[in-house]
Amino acid sequence: TADIAILNCVSSGTNGNGKIGLTAFDGHSLTLYALTQATSANVSAMTAYINGTLNYCGNKGMPACTGSNVAAALYSAVAQFQAAGIANTSSNIIVIDGVPNADSMTYAKADGTYPTPTSKTPVCSTNCTDANLWTMAQDQAAYAKSLGINVSTVYYSGDTTGSGNIATYSADLASLVSGNGIALVAPSAATINTAFAKFCSSMGSA
């Protein structure tokens, strides 16, 4: 629901002149739809994909389950914007996630392990903790901000228990917001439509 609401508002908010992409992530990231024109036809195709194919990790067509690493998602999005030459204030990253969750795997540069592209030392690569992943997410969000990229977040609690934890994790995710970005916490479909309609109307048609 969140994906589709955002797709529709980007398409209408930019009169189809914007570009939009869809990236899934767990410990790594996976580009499901590379940046493409936000025309009604492309948005329809992506909507059909979300409704019919997009699934949980470990399912057909999706990456294996390796935790949840926002840094990998941010790294992927920034890299795509840079490759397209549009990593600036006209670019927007919208992260839909819950809680950083490390896995017993080896994390690579594309997983957001380095604070900046020119950094020489990674935050971690093996035996990474949830705290390490959170530091990596903050670093990647800060780098996106340095480029002028707007970052928005949509928090869902998933299987998180305890109102204290939910408040903490949702506040953490919201702290990644930058520029003209917005933060939503477990929103209803109506809330998403309203919030992002206002957000997308600020994009202009360029």
Calculate what percentage of the chain has a pLDDT beyond 70: 94
What CA–CA distances, in Å, run from 19 to 10, 54, 160? 8, 20, 33
pLDDT for residue 161? 64
Q: Encode pLDDT of 161-173 as tens digits.
A: 666 777 888 899 9
Instruction: Please report, to the nearest 10 degrees, the dihedral formed by the alpha carbons of residues 167, 173, 178, 182 taken in order.
Output: -60
Instruction: Report strand pairing: 19-25 vs 150-155.
Output: unpaired
pLDDT band per the 50, 70, 90 thresholds, residue 63:
confident
Angle ∠(175,177,183) on CA atoms, nearest 5: 90
pLDDT for residue 94? 92
pLDDT for residue 186? 80
pLDDT band per the 50, 70, 90 thresholds, residue 206:
very low
Please answer whether residues 142 and 116 qualify as being in contact, where contact means their C-beta atoms are separated by less than 8 angstroms.
no
What CA–CA distances, in Å, run from 2 to 7, 144, 154, 156? 9, 22, 8, 11
165 vs 52, more confident? 52
Residues 180 and 117: their CA atoms lie apart, in Å, by: 24
Residues 34 and 19: their CA atoms lie apart, in Å, by: 9
Q: Encode pLDDT of 17-36 as tens digits.
A: 788 899 989 999 989 899 99
pLDDT for residue 19? 87
pLDDT at 98 over 80: no
pLDDT band per the 50, 70, 90 thresholds, residue 123:
very high
199 vs 110, more confident? 110
